Amino acid sequence: MEDMITKSKIEKALKFYEIDSTEYKEKCYQCVDELNNNPKQKNTANNVFEILFVDKTDKIKDLWKVKENAKLFNEIKNPYITNVLLLSGYEFHQMNIKKTKLDSEQIELNKKRVIESLTNDIKIRNYNGIRISQMLWGAYFVNIRIIEVGRLQYELVKYNPMNENEKKNCIKIHIPSGSKLESSKVIESLEQSVDKIKQYFGLEKPEYFCNSWLLSKQVRQIVDDNSNIAKFYNLFDVIEQDDGIEDILNFVFDLNECDNFYQLPEETSLQKKLKEMLIKNKIIKLGLGKLKDEYI
């Protein structure tokens, strides 16, 4: 079997994703050397690689439950293992782009998201390597499971998010960080997504779902009725989900964890209100919403 994790492929992948940091490359190379010098570690890495890019049974979905490298990679200690594995899928990325016939706009957006997955934890959070979640998120774009239309992203899933035992093709909405979640841009994206989803996923009139802290009933209660969050919330029929504190820390405060809520920033009114809730140990749940029929 062809070796899927090599320095040569890492070098080509870095060029493909236009990452020109010598330090980044050297850390990736060091990780590859360690794998090559330890057959047990290499086997573990190869098994994860198969799940990311080759497996067709959706085992990758189960990896989202794993938060720590030690639990997924066992004896592999090098934190750049996540970077190396995501980079090593670049050939699959090239093949999938051709197979799905992405247009130039989608190719640009798609590669941009993989590049962010490969670099944001290092540039923005000063981490040594990237989190498992970023490796998985990048792999979704490599596998063209997600397209981007205006303000929103659309993921093809093969189950009903409100009943995962029910197998059917559905769409999960994701909200990339960056610009404001303006209601007009959300509606525009939803309208334009219909043709794109048919073009790339072959689906007509699928059900749309969203699982997010933005659909938290507790968050909805602390924002104004005319806020962007409230308007987004009102697009869905929402049910309450699991604890949302981890997502709040991640997406609102750009933190993976926090031992002292009193130290959280208060740069926005939302941060200030959520910080107060966290200090008071208030419950904050995620919300899972089904998009109301009138919006598609």
Q: What is the pLDDT of residues 207-230, one digit of tens each?
A: 999 999 999 999 999 999 999 999
Percent of the chain with pLDDT over 70: 99
pTM of the predicted model over 0.75: yes
Q: What is the pLDDT of residues 192-213, one digit of tens each?
A: 999 999 999 999 999 999 999 9
Confidence class for position 295, pLDDT limits 50, 70, 90: confident
Rounded Cα distance, 120 and 251, in Å: 13
Percent of the chain with pLDDT over 90: 93
Q: What is the pLDDT of residues 247-293, one digit of tens each?
A: 999 999 999 889 999 999 999 999 999 999 999 999 999 999 999 99
Q: Where are the domains of the chain?
A: 1-144
Question: For 32-55, what is the mean pLDDT?
Answer: 96
Cα distances (Å, whole numbers) of residue 234 to 180, 231, 291: 17, 5, 9
Rounded Cα distance, 144 and 208, in Å: 18
Q: What is the pLDDT of residues 139-193, one digit of tens each?
A: 999 999 999 999 999 999 999 999 988 999 999 999 998 889 999 999 999 999 9
**Mean pLDDT over all residues of the chain?**
95
Question: For 130-139, what is the mean pLDDT?
Answer: 97
What contacts 24, CB < 8 A, 6 or more positions away? 14, 83, 119, 122
Reply yes or no on whether the pLDDT at 1 is more than 70. Answer: no
What contacts 261, CB < 8 A, 6 or more positions away? 275, 278, 279
